[in-house]
Amino acid sequence: MKDDDAAVVDLISSIMDSEFHDAKHAYPTEDVECIEKAYGGIGEAFFVAMDNKSHKVVGTVAIKKEDGRVALLRRLFVATTHRKLKIGKRLIDRALDFCRETGYEEVVFKTTSKMSGAIDLCRKNGFVQRAHIVLGPIELIKLSLCLREDVHAKKGRA
């Protein structure tokens, strides 16, 4: 895993440079420069997708513990050369399986409106927009997915 750190930073930096250059300052990479430290806690994980032929990292997704009930979905990136191959969906599916196994009740994804591909992918996977905040030129979006249907049912009856 440690060997993948540089490849992960390269992938994320190249996507940020080419697609989100104006917003790059809002997405520091300190967490992926030492993945084990940033995502190695209990209830946390960092997943990578590898290209079978080139053995290069072509996608990433991370789970960060918010609290005992809520996990944060982070670092959802797929190389431009590997998009439309369902890699992002498989990464999200793996991350959500991990969250269910860990016992999280909800998964939250926070991003800016510029990350439209990630937002669309999360929506296709059942995430619902919970907040939309405009801060000058930046629009912050918060999406969430309830992993336990009984939680909503109980809230409805309360």
Return the C-alpha torsion angle 57, 59, 64, 70, nearest 10.
-160
**Structural domain count of the chain:** 1
pTM: 0.88
N-terminal to C-terminal alpha carbon distance within the chain? 45
Phi and psi (nearest 5°) for 85?
-115, 10
Which domain range does residue 21 map to? 4-157
For residues 121-144, one letter each, b for 16 or more C-beta atoms within 10 angstroms of the residue's C-beta and e for the rest, the string is bbeebebeeeeeeeeeeeeebebb
Q: What is the CATH number of the domain that holds 39?
A: 3.40.630.30
pLDDT digits (tens, 9 = 90+) for 79-109: 999 999 999 999 999 999 999 999 999 999 9
pLDDT digits (tens, 9 = 90+) for 51-87: 999 999 999 999 999 999 999 999 999 999 999 999 9
pLDDT digits (tens, 9 = 90+) for 110-149: 998 889 999 999 999 999 999 999 988 888 999 999 998 6
Could you list the beta-strand ranges (E) of the chain: 45-50, 57-65, 70-78, 106-112, 128-135, 138-146
